[in-house]
Amino acid sequence: MIYNYKNLKKLLLECLLCSLIVFVSCAKNEIKIREVAIIPLPAKLSKGEGCFVITKKTTVSVTNEEQLNIAANFFKKFKKVSGWIPKIGIEKAKANIIFSVDSSLEEEAYELIVSKDSIHIKSGSGAGFFYAMKSLGQLLPVSFYSEKKQLNTDWGIPVVTIKDKPAFKWRGFMLDVSRHFFDKEEVKDVIDFMAEVKLNRFHWHLTDDNGWRIEIKKYPKLTEVGAWRVDYNAKDENTSNWWGRPEQKEGEKATYGGFYTQEDIKEIVDYAKEQYIEIIPEIDMPGHSLAAIAAYPEISCAEGSFYVGTGGVTRNNTYCPGKEITFEFVEDVLGEVMNLFPFEYMHIGGDECNKDAWEVDSDCQKRMKEENLDNLHELQSYFVTRVEKIVNSHNKNMIGWDEILEGGLAPNATVMSWRGEKGGIASARQGHDVIMTPSKYCYLDLKQGDDDLEPNLGYSYSFLKDTYNYKIISDSLTTEQGKHVLGIQGSLWTESITNWGQLTYMTFPRLYAVAENGWTDYKHKEWGGFTDRLLIQLKRLKEKGERYATSAYNVRIDHIGHKEGTIDISLKTEVDGLDIYYTLDDSEPSLISIKYEKPFSIKNTTTIKSTSFKNDEQIGNISEKYLAIHKAVGAEVVYHSPLIKNKKAANGLVDLNYGKLNSGDRNWNVFKGNLDVDLIFKEPKEVSLVEITSLRFTNSGVYVPEYIEVYGSKDGLSFTKLGEVKLLEESHTQGRNKVVSVIRFKETTVKAIKVKAKRVNPIPAGHPRAGVASKILIDELVVF
């Protein structure tokens, strides 16, 4: 039966309903098999009945040493999980698993034919055989990936025929090791998970403002100095402080960092080759280069002491294109780098170049005059073009981020489009090759779910559904122009990431969507079938002990408050077709809880908990939201301090609409100046508590108040202080999170309440907006 891709979801569900794991007794050994759920989706797949069983008596025949290495690397996992390994040999007689060369198949294409008696694997290239084995691995049961021994077990492979090839030749993943350093073994683990989903380009971001990670023998200070910074890493996931870390001061010791020796690089390159992955190194220039400048200040235009950036936006981080010593440095460094990476491409960055120093530097101005350059963009283009000549002299092609378009594109450059698709489309129209990694679809460091339900990692958004549905070749390109689009890349920047678990959480499951985009023809893709197959992949990750996100399956709890004292609640998931259950009594939701059918309302303070199920199995995490319905609802709000903006009604502070961890959420009231508001009740009320949530978003000048005071009035005219909270330390702390302040006082009857808060003014030195006044953002004044 040939799979109709539109019916793939239905077929997979049938497999699930027929029991996920089948156990068959045979010669005292348990046979485990699993349904077919491969990512990326093969070009053609037909499923039969029964299974082929791999046992310790199974024999494998290959035709050459390359295939022997592929088979040996695949089957060595059997030793770890089962304690045995099939017999493998070249031209082995009467083998059960047979590799054979078919030169008619395209590069990277393969055929995998599984019958009850044998497995035949055909390809015309080593890469094709390698990918066939990766598909075979995904046909194995989830328990095969367990860290625990599976003794007395044989492994069933469902009868299936697969004919497969990739849609694009560039299927990439980028890892930034400058912001967070991952050691040699962790980089190999990254290469492993790339190979599992048939990715073939590892873009290695090795240098930036925050760390130089590759040994350069001619310039030892690049790693002696440039590889280390003062440790201001966030220690938990409730604080996001990358954009507001203090700069290194004179005398502070740089202790955080690391680098790869040239021997490490060679080892990793060889490791990647075995998995048919090419590594593209990136040495960022002319901007994002503070780590290099800290080591060798003479390549900068600016003056003063330089330190490796601790985080956030840095100044004076750009090479000087007016000095010849800069180009000597670049040529020497890139020469050593390119000698280590025997592949076609060299990435030179070229993004977010701060040109302030160029504008006043005499060497830069002289260069512009000599080269007849009209502006600083053309000066950047001059720099990039000279660097391209260096790269081309080593018989390599240069890649740069789409900013290299500014001032004119270097003659042979390949463009990596990240600021949307515009740069990539423009480059393809000019006849330049393009790799698409637009941030909305491909930046894996962005948030992937509801702001209040995700770890405080990343900024902006890149949802799984958007990633999956992204069309790599724009409809605005002609067929010929579209041929310049080499493929797609998922990019993981590590500003918010400080450990391996955070890396995998942000990477999975979105990298599966990137992989399917790069491998599977767009017309064969289908969101529902993908999310069904994805559940099996997530179970494999669980067996491996890896952390991953279930954000697309988690329940989003949305609300709309009303001045009458009710809140409307709606629940939804990004993935279609899930059953949603919820509770209103603070208990954990289950299949015996309330099933969500339509939006509903609450009239009392409530904690809502909800989760999703598929075929009676819990799929998502438990989402939780506390919503207070308090005594000040409907009160008149008198503002003594002006709002910068208030997109809501005049009673926005008491309307039961609560803000998310997002400065753009319209439920935040933004104040200019100190906070000073009165809440006037229709009739006297007994009160004993005021709770205020303020937003901290210091990179945008949004700070927690230095203190908050609460006053009460029996007549609405004269006020007496009821309580206060001092927040001086918290108010001068940088980061991005919500801060809840509770002011308790003796129960008293009041006609009105006054709330006053002092903003941070000026923002302290060393902060991104030092010297100006901060803003205060408050969502609700909760009164009990």
Q: Which residues contact 515 (CB under 8 A, 6 or more apart)?
A: 39, 40, 171, 197, 198, 199
For 207, 280, 432, 487, the CA distances from 200, given in Å and listed in that order, are: 22, 11, 21, 11
Output DSSP code: residue 659.
-
Report residue 20 as tokens.
């996920």
Could you give the angle at the alpha carbon of 398 between the alpha carbons of 393 and 404, nearest 5°?
125
Of 108, 164, 208, 215, catalytic: 208
Provide the pairing of β-strand 44-54 with 153-164: antiparallel
> Phi first, then psi: what are they for 346, rounded to 5°?
-130, 125
Is 732 among the catalytic positions?
A: no
Of 203, 205, 288, 347, catalytic: 288
Question: Taking Cα atoms as reference points, which of 348, 203, 335, 336 lies closest to residue 286?
Answer: 348
Measured distance CA(23)–CA(136) in Å, rounded: 19
Measured distance CA(117)–CA(96) in Å, rounded: 7
Provide the pairing of β-strand 278-285 with 669-671: unpaired
Report residue 468 as tokens.
């999956």
Report residue 277 as tokens.
């992955």
Q: Please name the residue ranges forming H helices in 415-498.
A: 422-429, 439-442, 464-469, 479-482
* DSSP of 112-176: EEE-SS-EEEEESSHHHHHHHHHHHHHTS-GGGG-SS--TTEEEEEEEEEEEE--S-SEEEEEEE
Measured distance CA(62)–CA(57) in Å, rounded: 17
Instruction: Output b/e per residue, 449-468; b: 16+ Cβ within 10 A.
Output: bbebbbbbbbbebbbbebbb
Question: Taking Cα atoms as reference points, which of 399, 243, 257 lies closest to residue 766?
Answer: 243
Measured distance CA(720)–CA(710) in Å, rounded: 9
Q: Does 342 sit behind a cis peptide bond, omega within 30 degrees of 0 on the bond before it?
A: no
Is 203 among the catalytic positions?
A: no
Measured distance CA(356)–CA(349) in Å, rounded: 18
Of 30, 186, 352, 451, catalytic: 352
CA atoms within 13 A on the CB side of 26: 13
Is the C-alpha dihedral spanning 169, 173, 178, 184 positive or negative? negative
Q: Is the distance from CB of 700 to CB of 665 less than 8 angstroms?
A: no
- Return the bridge partners of 748, or none: 687
- Return the bridge partners of 486, or none: none
* DSSP of 517-577: HHHS-GGG--HHHHHHHHHHHHHHHHHHT-----GGGSPEEEEEEETTTEEEEEEE-SSTT
Quick one: which H or E segment has residue 195?
Answer: helix 184-196
Helix (H, G, I), strand (E, B) or coil at 374: coil
Indicate the burial class of 49 (C-beta count within 10 angstroms; 0-12, 13-18, 19 or more). Answer: exposed
Report residue 174 as tokens.
């980028």
Helix, strand and coil in the chain, % to nearest 5: 30, 30, 40
Q: Is the distance from CB of 400 to CB of 417 less than 8 angstroms?
A: no
Question: Taking Cα atoms as reference points, which of 576, 616, 582 lies closest to residue 597?
Answer: 582
Is 352 among the catalytic positions?
A: yes
Provide the pairing of β-strand 110-114 with 776-783: unpaired
CB atoms under 10 Å from CB of 365, counted, come to: 15
Question: Taking Cα atoms as reference points, which of 376, 380, 212, 377 lies closest to residue 306?
Answer: 212
Residues annotated as catalytic (active site), given as ranges: 208, 288, 352
